[in-house]
């Protein structure tokens, strides 16, 4: 099986104090799993690495390792590096990416989004929020910021049908660059 580049996105770590996971310890765990060329980006749980196998296998192994080593459950979403470029390239909100990159979120779910998830989210959007489902990517532009939005993580998870993790446009682009290096 060929070795490929991957990106793993951990949901909800190092926010609020309940799920603290130091990046150095996360890198060590990933190396113990057998991944190579492991790197992280910022404290929110972005891991880049090389490995053989499928993304879903990697998700399960990292979730199990975090549970065993740190004592809590964290949903993990993994995408192959080649897929990441395609996903980032599907951004429908070019103006928001240019003008408000921290208010444009790329959301990815563990499982394919439920049919109609994009429309259901857009129906609940307020204050100029825009939602677009593009394949597996859910793009949300929060012109007033995500912190006060009615599109809460729990609502998004429920409407999409599985755990979702989000990265702002700046982080998505930085990860794409790092994968290409």
CATH number at residue 117: 3.30.70
Q: Are 101 and 66 within one domain?
A: no
Sheet strand arrangement including 164-168: 130-134, 137-141, 104-109, 164-168
Q: What is the pLDDT of residues 142-158, one digit of tens each?
A: 999 998 999 999 999 99
Cβ atoms within 10 Å of 68's Cβ, excluding its own: 9
Cβ atoms within 10 Å of 70's Cβ, excluding its own: 17
Structure confidence at residue 16 as a pLDDT band (50, 70, 90): low
Does pTM surpass 0.85? Answer: yes
Q: What is the pLDDT of residues 29-87, one digit of tens each?
A: 999 999 999 999 998 899 999 999 999 999 999 999 999 999 999 999 999 999 999 99
Last residue of a domain, one of 32, 62, 82: 82
Q: Are 99 and 151 within one domain?
A: yes
Last residue of a domain, one of 57, 82, 107: 82
Q: What is the pLDDT of residues 102-146, one digit of tens each?
A: 999 999 999 999 999 999 999 999 999 999 999 899 999 999 999
């Amino acid at each position: 099986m060929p070795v490929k580049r991957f990106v793993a996105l951990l949901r909800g770590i190092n926010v609020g104090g309940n799920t603290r996971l130091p990046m150095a310890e996360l890198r060590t765990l990933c190396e113990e799993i057998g991944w190579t060329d492991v790197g992280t980006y910022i404290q929110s749980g972005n891991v880049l690495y090389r490995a053989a196998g499928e993304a879903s296998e990697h998700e399960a192994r990292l979730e199990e390792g975090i549970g065993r080593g740190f004592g809590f459950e964290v949903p993990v979403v993994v995408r192959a590096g080649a897929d990441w470029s395609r996903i980032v390239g599907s951004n429908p909100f070019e103006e928001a990416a240019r003008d408000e990159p921290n208010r444009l979120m790329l959301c990815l779910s563990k499982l394919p989004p439920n049919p109609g998830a994009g429309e259901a989210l857009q129906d609940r959007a307020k204050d100029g929020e825009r939602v677009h489902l593009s394949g597996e990517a859910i793009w949300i532009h929060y012109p007033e910021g995500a912190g006060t939005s009615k599109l809460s993580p729990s609502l998004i998870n429920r409407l999409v049908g599985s755990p979702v993790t989000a990265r702002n446009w700046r982080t998505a682009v930085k990860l794409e660059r790092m994968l290409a290096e």
